[in-house]
Amino acid sequence: MQAAVTERWDGLVVGVSLATLQGTEGYGEIADAALGWHDGRLCFVGPRSALPGDARDLADEVIEADGWITPGLVDCHTHLVFAGDRAREFELRLQGASYEEIARSGGGIVSTVRAVREADENTLLAQSLPRARALMRDGVTTVEIKSGYGLDFDSERRMLRVARRIGQQLGVQVSTTYLGAHALPPEYAGRADDYVEAVAAWLPRLHDEGLVDAVDAFCEGIGFSPAQTRRVFEAAGALGLPVKLHADQLSDLGGAMLVAEFGGLSADHVEHTSIEGVRAMAAHGVVAVLLPGAFHVLRETKLPPLDAFREHGVAMAVATDCNPGTSPLQSLRQAMQLACTHFRLTPAEALRGATVHGARALGLTDRGVLRVGMRADFVQWRVRHPAELCYWLGGDLAEAVYVGGVRLA
C-alpha cells in the first residue's frame, strides 16, 4: 500500500475516493483515501487513516479534495496529426455514400494526404495541438499518435516529428506509431507491392531518428493484403519494433491472427474478427482495441466479438481513433460512453479499457493503475461515482490532470 518515508513527498491529495483499478474487475475503490507522489512516481495509495504521520509533515504540497481520482486516461489509437478536415464526406455518408465508395472516388484517406503534403511542420503542429489539448483537458495523460497521412518519406517524417513536438510542448506522453501502410498514394497506383517495399525501406531511417515506437498497417480490401502487411511487420521485426494492426474492420482477412503470429501489441477495430482470431489473440496476449467512435460515425452494425473476448480473456482497450474522416472524436471519455452504449461494456470495463488495457496496448507497464511505484499520472474528477465518467454525454468533469506528478490542466 505504501512506500517507506525517507524524504518529503512532492505532493499528497487527501479526502478523495480512489478508483485504483487494482485487481481484475471493478474499480478497486478506496474511500476517504490519500494519494502521494515523489519524483514522478506514486509513493502512497491507500486510506487516509493509513498515512504514516500527519499529512502536513509528509509532503511539500497537501491538497484537501473530494470527488474521485482515477489513473490518467491512455488513448492508445489516434490519428490526431493531420491538416484540414473531411466534413463534406460526413455529409456524403449521410446521403448514402459508403466509406469504400468515398475512398475509391479519391476521398477518404487520400484527400487528407493531399492536405498534409501541402502543410509545413509548423502548420501541422498548429492544427494538431488543439486536438491534443482537448484530449488532455478531458483526462488523457498518454496518447498514441500515428503517421499515415503523408505516404512519402518526407511527409511521414514530418508527421512523426510533429507528434514528438506535441508531447514536448504539452508535457503529455506521446507514443508514436509509423503507419506508412495506411493507403496507396496516387503516385503508386497499381503498384502496391512497390509501395510496401518503399514503406519498409523508410522505416530504418525514421527509427534511427528516434521517431518510431511501433509499426502499424491497414490490412483491408481497400488497404493492404495480409501478404503486404506481413512484409511491413517483417521490417519492423528486423529493428525490434513492436507491431499493431488495423484488423478486421470491414471484413475478415485474418488480420487478428496475423498480428498475433507476430506477437503484436494490439488488433484494432476487430468488428469482423473470427473466433479463430480471438483464440489467437488470447494465446499471444494481443489486446483488442475497440474504436466505438468510428463504429458510431460509420453507422456500423457488425459488433466486435465481445462475448468471445470476455470468454477467452482478451483484454479490451477503448480509444478515440481521433481522425478527420471516420472518428472526429476529441474525448476519450466520450469514447468510453460510446463503448458502453454501442458495445454494452460496463462503465468499469470502459474505464479499464481507457487506462489499464490502453497502456498495455502500447506496451507500457508503468501506468494505468494507481499503485505505489507507478507513474504519477492521475486525474481528479468532479463526480460522485466513477460510473459518471461514462454516464455524462460531454461536459467538463476533470478538476485536475497530473502527468508525472506535475499538474498540466
Binding-site annotation: residue ranges: 77, 79, 86, 149, 182, 246, 249, 321, 323, 325-326
- How far apart are the C-alpha atoms of 229 and 179, rounded to whole Å? 11
Cell digits of residue 164 = 514528438
Q: In degrees, to the nearest 5, what angle opens at C-alpha 136 toward C-alphas 132 and 140?
A: 110
Amino acid type, 230: R
Contact 215, 178 (CB under 8 A): yes
Report in angstroms the alpha-carbon separations of 311 from 87, 278, 314, 391: 39, 10, 8, 26
Angle, helix 192-208 to helix 226-238, in steps of 10 degrees: 20
User: Which residues line the annotated binding site for Fe(3+)?
Assistant: 77, 79, 246, 321
In DSSP notation, 257-271 reads: HHHHHTT-SEEEE-T
User: Which residues line the annotated binding site for Zn(2+)?
Assistant: 77, 79, 246, 321
* Residue 59: DSSP 8-state: B
Q: Could you tell me which of 203, 136, 138 has the C-alpha nearest to residue 166?
A: 136
Q: What is the dihedral of CA 101, 107, 110, 116, to 10 degrees?
A: -160
- How far apart are the C-alpha atoms of 354 and 367, rounded to whole Å? 11
Contact 158, 122 (CB under 8 A): no
Number of H helices and E strands in the chain, helices first, is 16, 16
Report in angstroms the alpha-carbon separations of 325 from 124, 305, 364: 17, 24, 28
Q: Residue 202 burial (CB < 10 Å; 0-12/13-18/19+)?
A: buried
User: Which residues line the annotated binding site for N-formimidoyl-L-glutamate?
Assistant: 149, 323, 325
In which residue are the cell numbers 507514443 written? 175
In the chain the first and final C-alpha atoms are separated, in Å, by: 27
- How far apart are the C-alpha atoms of 281 and 285, rounded to whole Å? 6
User: Which residues line the annotated binding site for 4-imidazolone-5-propanoate?
Assistant: 86, 149, 182, 249, 326
403 backbone dihedrals φ, ψ, rounded to 5°: -125, 120
Cell digits of residue 4 = 517507506
